[in-house]
Amino acid sequence: MLLLLALGIGTLAGCGVWLLLRARSFDAILGLTLLSYAVNLFIFAMGRVKVGAMPILEKGVPATLATTADPLPQALVLTAIVISFALTAVLLAIALRARQQSGSDHVDGH
């Protein structure tokens, strides 16, 4: 499971970097989005991926790292998802306005 997650993170990061190096603004926005997904998955993976772990403790149950999920990476990923959605919306609005004014969606304006 962890190997599959690591391969997914690497693939998303590689595709994101490749799209960022393209000369079109839409490709750069899509690359930033893929990189943000890769970073979110990386943060989530750093919280030790556990199947069937309890996110909330109950009274009388001893709390150990083996039986509980870490809520901090989950909260960070939720916050990052909202921020990346807002960033994508703003960048798309800027890219559409730049295309309207210049007539091209090249990053350098040519």
User: Which among 43, 33, 26 is positioned nearest to 12, based on CA atoms?
Assistant: 33
Q: What is the tens place of the pLDDT at every residue in 41-97?
A: 998 888 776 666 666 666 776 666 556 667 788 888 999 999 999 999 999 999 999
Q: What is the tens place of the pLDDT at every residue in 19-33?
A: 999 989 899 999 999
